[in-house]
Amino acid sequence: MNETRLSEIATDSQRVVPTTLFGRSHHGVSLGALAGGGALIASPSGKLLGIPLSILAPSPFHDFLAPGVLLFCFVGLAPLAMIYALLKTPDWELCRAV
């Protein structure tokens, strides 16, 4: 029997609802992370968001710069890349490998 990948079977109309729901939920998470991470990068002391540096005492961080960069990149930019990949289905080697 000839096996066909799910992406080859699914038409655009079949992919719209899951892609839209996933995209909208991750879009909100991404925007919040970009705003929060950007604020922490702009003000590593935490004053812009009203966060005291004392909450970092048990952590390896001295200010909020590194956590802000991590938040901005991994929680902010990564979901945007996933949304783009779902909506546009780019011809990336990584997409074919997965």
| Mean pLDDT by groups of 10 residues along the chain of 98 residues | 48 56 76 96 96 94 96 93 76 70
- Domain regions of the chain by residue span: 16-90
Check residue 33 and give its pLDDT: 95
Q: Say what the pLDDT of residue 38 is.
A: 97
pLDDT at 9: 47
Q: What is the pLDDT of residue 43?
A: 97
* CA-based radius of gyration for the chain: 19
Q: Which of 11, 30, 12, 13 is nearest to 83 (CA)?
A: 30
Return the SS3 of 12. helix
Contact predicate 73/36, CB 8 Å? no
Question: Tokens 């992406």, residue?
Answer: 7
Q: Give residue 16's pLDDT.
A: 56
Can you give the length of the chain in residues?
A: 98
Q: Determine the pLDDT at residue 79.
A: 86
